[in-house]
Copies of this chain bind each other. A is one copy, B any other.
Amino acid sequence: VITSPHNARVAAARKLRQRKQRAAADAFLVEGPHATGQALTAGTFAVRELFVTAGAAERERDLLRTAAAADVPVCLVTDQVLETLADTVTPQGVVAVVRTPRTSLDDVLRRRPRHVVVLVEAADPGNVGTVIRTADAAGADLVMLTSDSTDPYGGKCVRASAGSLFHLPVVTGIGLALAVERLKGAGLQVLATTTDGTDLDEVGDLARPTAWLFGNEAHGLPAEAVALADRTVRVPIHGRAESLNLAAAAAVCLYATASAQRR
């Protein structure tokens, strides 16, 4: 049992709470037995190491069996040591170190995606995680985050995605112009969400392969995104709200697409 937060393995894992360290180590942290279970069973992810408390080891026998079957090293740690690794108040005794997947855009585009979400300059990790979860639920084939977006492998985003980060390809680090060029080249129409576009209800051809561009929570899409898109679309505001939040707007657009494509 590791009892010191200064233990080298614990200290190395704790560093992954910082974006720079995640990029350097090509790994991120996953908290809780549920999300860890999803990471263990998702083919493209590899769990490098598992930290568990004695209490969690007692409760989560299936999880430890799955980890053992996958040859994942398990470290028993005290509650205090686990707390130094975790982001949440109640981490439920389990923190995993997971290798960041290298998802290749080429590979995904070869599979002819019909429903794609592109987050441009997204800043709020909770929103990004929620959009990834909603994209998964709506049956989207790919989520892209342009290079100026927040890191989807931070703790808050991983948690908000509720496991969906492990369910569909998430591609990061591509500039906006190149992303749009590649999507158009793959036969997708590119729709930019703005406050003055065509009403979503009037957009007739969502059954076509479609990529959605969503902008930053505070200032929306940059002019460049609007210029690059095939057309602009707005979620109509029927009441007196000035706008929808990013995750709600995305939910409405992605489910409209799912309905049209499955009709």
Q: Interface of A with B (CB < 8 Å)?
A: 130, 133-140, 160, 162-164, 167-168, 201, 235-245, 247-252, 255, 258-259, 262
The answer for the CA separation of A244 and B160 in the assembled complex, in Å, is 11
9 shortest interchain CB distances as A-B pairs: A139-B238, A248-B251, A137-B241, A136-B241, A167-B240, A251-B251, A136-B239, A252-B255, A139-B239
**Contact between chains at B239 and A137 (CB < 8 Å):** yes
| Protomer copies | 2
Hey, which chain B residues are within 8 Å of A245, CB to CB?
A: 130, 133-134, 160, 162, 247
**Contact between chains at A248 and B163 (CB < 8 Å):** no
A217 to chain B, nearest CB (A): 11
17 contacts between A and B (CB under 8 A): A130-B247, A134-B245, A134-B248, A137-B237, A137-B239, A137-B241, A137-B248, A138-B238, A162-B243, A163-B242, A164-B241, A167-B240, A168-B240, A238-B258, A244-B251, A247-B247, A252-B252
A66 to chain B, nearest CB (A): 17
**Contact between chains at B255 and A137 (CB < 8 Å):** no
**Contact between chains at B130 and A241 (CB < 8 Å):** no
Q: Are A201 and B137 CB-contacts (below 8 A) given A162-B241, A241-B163, A251-B244?
A: no
The answer for the CA separation of A237 and B258 in the assembled complex, in Å, is 10
The answer for the CA separation of A133 and B251 in the assembled complex, in Å, is 14
A207 to chain B, nearest CB (A): 14
A114 to chain B, nearest CB (A): 12
**Contact between chains at B239 and A138 (CB < 8 Å):** yes
Hey, which chain B residues are within 8 Å of A243, CB to CB?
A: 137, 162
The answer for the CA separation of A164 and B242 in the assembled complex, in Å, is 9
Hey, which chain B residues are within 8 Å of A242, CB to CB?
A: 162-163
Shortest Cβ distance from A139 into B: residue: B238
Within the complex, which residue of B140, B162, B236, B249 is in contact with A239, where a contact is CB–CB below 8 Å? B140
Shortest Cβ distance from A161 into B: residue: B241
A119 to chain B, nearest CB (A): 15
The answer for the CA separation of A244 and B251 in the assembled complex, in Å, is 9
Shortest Cβ distance from A133 into B: residue: B241
Hey, which chain B residues are within 8 Å of A140, CB to CB?
A: 239
**Contact between chains at B133 and A240 (CB < 8 Å):** no
A257 to chain B, nearest CB (A): 10
Hey, which chain B residues are within 8 Å of A262, CB to CB?
A: 201, 238
